[in-house]
Amino acid sequence: METISSVLAWRADYLKKGLRSLLDEELMEQVFDHPLVDPLVRSSRGISPRATKVPGVRRVLGWWRRKRYPSYLPSRTVIAAILNLDVEARTKDAAKSADEALERLEQAVESFPNDRVREALTVLLAEAEVRTDDAAKRIEAFRKAAETWYDDTMARVSGWYRRRVQLVLWCIALVIAILLNVDTVNVGRVLWTDDAVRAAVVAQARQAAEQEDPQSVAESVDELSIPLGWSFDGGPQDFPSGWQGWLGKALGIVLTAAAVSLGAPFWFDLLGKVARLRSTGVPPKPASADSRS
């Protein structure tokens, strides 16, 4: 999933979507062109002139030449960029006085080209003015409020990204479950009804917990009679018969996909909490040098 997300630059795409919803297309481009943000954008990669003459190469390699946008932008940098202020211009030391710095900030907010964003920043500035009469504290309060406003938007964007990732993980898990015929209902039925298979699985699980060689663990699993994979011999690994059989197969595949999409760390942590897999308990933390002395 990380490989797919990195190759397709999903995080950068969702960052741009978040900025586009917060600002607009034109202001988003201005943010990326700002001197504070532009160094974070990697320029397009060059292609040999000879390669571009080959039919279809220019279109195929268009993805390779695209700009690489960052996956994350700090709120401090974005607020400074949209107000066209450098980072230090918002502090008391950047101007001759705090009052002058506050005046520059008010002018930047009033002259903001986007009506919706200008109204939001005006409200944040008004709230800062209500809290204190000190100009320096007003600037700091406004800065924190504006950064929180941006961070709240990015939190919503993170939710968009997680939903896409979860959907893709579901699709990947579903394909794996179908190709390998990992039917949770069928496996559970075999383990429930066949005492020999269940005992063998328990024994192999205990042995695997003591082994560190993945190859030997895989060979041990292959020796078990768990119904995994497709086998068209009329056994439990064959195609089901009747609508009830297909319904059970679909339910088992979906349950497997749901379990796989959560990931191994989730299940290991869950089993560790429920079953207390470490019979000896959690080892104590080593004593620090100060405590030993």
The string of pLDDT tens digits covering residues 194-237 is 777 777 777 776 776 666 565 655 565 556 667 777 777 776 67
Sequence spans of domains, the chain: 2-159, 181-275
Would you state the pLDDT for residue 241? Answer: 79
- CA-wise closest residue to 27 among 113, 149, 115, 146: 113
Helices of type H across the chain: 2-7, 10-22, 25-33, 49-52, 57-60, 62-65, 75-82, 98-110, 115-131, 135-180, 184-193, 195-210, 214-223, 242-262, 264-275, 289-292
Q: Distance between CA 38 and CA 58 in Å, rounded?
A: 26
Q: Distance between CA 37 and CA 72 in Å, rounded?
A: 11
Q: Which residues of the chain have pLDDT under 50?
A: 86-95
Are residues 186 and 236 in contact, defined by beta-carbon separation less than 8 angstroms? yes
Would you state the pLDDT for residue 287? Answer: 60
Would you state the pLDDT for residue 41? Answer: 80
Would you state the pLDDT for residue 247? Answer: 86
* Residue-level length of the chain: 293
pLDDT, tens only, 145-172: 888 898 998 889 889 998 998 899 889 8
C-alpha distances out from residue 125 to 68, 85, 102, 264, 279, Å: 34, 15, 10, 47, 58
Q: Which residues contact 174 (CB under 8 A, 6 or more apart)?
A: 253, 254, 257
- CA-wise closest residue to 75 among 167, 144, 165, 157: 144
Q: Would you list the DSSP string of 112-156?
A: -S-HHHHHHHHHHHHHHHHH-S-HHHHHHHHHHHHHHHHHHHHHH
Q: Distance between CA 95 and CA 227 in Å, rounded?
A: 74
Helices of type H across 211-263: 214-223, 242-262
Rg of the chain taking only CA atoms, in angstroms? 29
Would you state the pLDDT for residue 219? Answer: 60
Would you state the pLDDT for residue 66? Answer: 66
